[in-house]
Structures are given as structure tokens and as C-alpha cells.
């Protein structure tokens, strides 16, 4: 069973529908015992880092997620789920889970003669694979994925970066470390390639 972490935010049902479509049993839950017993965990959704961390701490799920990571079972973060993995976010000066060294930074608003880069970034953008990983099996490089974000992760070390995207500048959009995988883009909203990556994660 795949546990989808319920932290009082939206977009959880979209992930659940995608997993059901792929034929995998799943449950949206905030019960620590259910999460601990799951074969895999997905932390998806949209939201602000500080509010997300406050909800996790209120429900005791911050420690549950840390323990799950250390269990070695596959764990996937999507959108806000990649940002809270790092030590700190500029968004409301939030302290996050600290599973990976690094921080989360806000996009600069950039204006040139030819374009204005709006924040948040909303829409389709290319992801380039920077190193091979099973999550990318059968996925072309580059491929288009759907983004909704005002902040981006800045890992302390580049060895965890498996995908990058350009939005005025190049930034990290996918990471992997041991049993942990996370994407800034929304797999569940990215059509065929998004479903392929979800299926690759579920097959790990």
C-alpha cells in the first residue's frame, strides 16, 4: 500500500486518482501507524513551507517522515514535497525537515527586452536529466512537465540533482538520495510522462 500524506492541503486526490489509474492500492492518511506500515510514501501537494511544517509538527508527522526515510523504504516528494526536505526555506523563514543539506530560495522577478518572468511559475516547462536514474526509465530528456511554484531548491551538493529546468536561470527540479526521490514539478498533472515516472517510482 502507498501512503499519501494528508497535511490539510490540496491536490492529494489528484495523486490518489493517478495511483488508482496505475493499479496501485493507496490511502490518503495522517495516521502515523498507517504511514509507518506502508510500502511507499508520497508527500505531494501545494502550499507554503511554514504552514506545511506547522501542520506536520502538529500531527507529529515530521518525525514520522524522518523515521520513514531512515527505514530505507521508497519515498517520493512532489512540489512542496521537495522543498520541505531541505534544512530551511526562505518562504516565511521556515525550518524544514533537514533530510538533505541545502535550502529553498524564491525566484527573482526577471524582466528583459523580450520577456517578463512571472512569479509564480505556472505551466509547462522542460526538465533535463542530469544523470541516469530508474525514475526516468522510458522518459525522454528533455521532457515537458507541469510546474506551479514560486520557490526552488538549492541543494548543498550537486550529486543529489538528477534533473534541471530553466526559468530565467537554471535550477534544480528533481533530486534523488538513497531511497528518497523528489520533483518540483507535478507528476500527477504532467500527462503520459508524469504517469510513467509515478509508475517507475511504484515499481522500485
- Which residue from 173, 185, 204 is spatially nearest to 46, judged by alpha carbons? 185
Identified catalytic residue from 91, 96, 172, 188: 188
Range of the domain at 183: 2-202
**Is a pLDDT exceeding 90 seen at residue 65?**
yes
Per-residue confidence (pLDDT) for residue 112, from 0 to 100: 53
Identified catalytic residue from 79, 91, 172, 177: 79
Q: Using an 8 Å Cβ cutoff, are 4 and 44 in contact?
A: yes
121: which 3 cell numbers?
511559475
Q: Using an 8 Å Cβ cutoff, are 141 and 164 in contact?
A: no
Q: Which CATH number do you get for residue 30?
A: 3.40.50.880
**Burial status of residue 42 (CB atoms within 10 A of its CB: 0-12, 13-18, 19 or more):** buried
Mean pLDDT of 1-6: 96
**181: confidence class by pLDDT, cuts 50, 70, 90:** very high
- Assess whether 79 carries a catalytic annotation: yes
- Assess whether 88 carries a catalytic annotation: no
Which residues are CB-contacts of 19 (< 8 A; sequence separation ≥ 6)? 2, 4, 26, 42, 198, 202
- Assess whether 126 carries a catalytic annotation: no
Query: What is the pLDDT of the chain when averaged over all its residues?
Result: 94
25 φ, ψ (degrees, to nearest 5) = -65, 135
Mean pLDDT of 61-70: 96
Looking at the 3D structure of the chain, how many domains does it have?
1
Mean pLDDT of 89-108: 95
- Which residue from 1, 28, 32, 4 is spatially nearest to 187, judged by alpha carbons? 4
Per-residue confidence (pLDDT) for residue 47, from 0 to 100: 84
Amino acid at each position: 500500500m502507498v501512503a499519501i500524506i494528508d497535511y490539510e492541503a490540496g491536490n492529494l486526490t489528484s495523486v490518489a486518482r493517478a495511483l488508482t489509474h496505475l493499479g496501485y492500492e493507496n490511502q490518503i492518511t495522517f495516521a502515523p501507524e498507517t504511514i509507518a506500515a506502508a510500502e511507499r510514501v508520497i508527500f505531494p501537494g501545494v502550499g507554503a513551507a511554514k504552514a506545511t511544517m506547522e501542520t506536520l509538527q502538529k500531527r507529529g508527522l515530521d518525525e514520522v517522515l524522518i523515521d520513514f526515510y531512515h527505514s530505507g523504504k521508497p519515498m517520493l516528494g512532489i512540489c512542496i514535497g521537495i522543498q520541505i526536505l531541505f534544512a530551511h526555506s526562505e518562504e516565511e523563514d521556515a525550518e524544514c525537515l533537514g533530510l538533505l543539506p541545502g535550502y529553498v530560495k524564491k525566484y527573482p522577478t526577471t524582466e528583459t527586452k523580450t520577456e517578463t518572468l512571472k512569479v509564480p511559475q505556472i505551466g509547462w516547462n522542460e526538465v533535463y536529466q542530469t544523470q541516469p536514474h530508474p525514475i526516468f526509465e522510458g522518459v525522454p530528456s528533455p521532457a515537458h512537465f507541469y510546474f506551479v511554484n514560486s520557490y526552488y531548491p538549492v541543494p548543498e551538493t550537486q550529486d543529489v540533482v538528477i534533473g534541471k529546468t530553466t526559468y530565467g536561470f537554471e535550477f534544480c527540479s528533481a533530486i534523488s538520495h538513497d531511497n528518497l526521490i523528489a520533483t518540483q514539478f507535478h507528476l500527477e498533472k504532467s500527462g503520459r510522462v508524469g504517469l510513467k515516472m509515478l509508475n517507475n517510482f511504484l515499481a522500485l
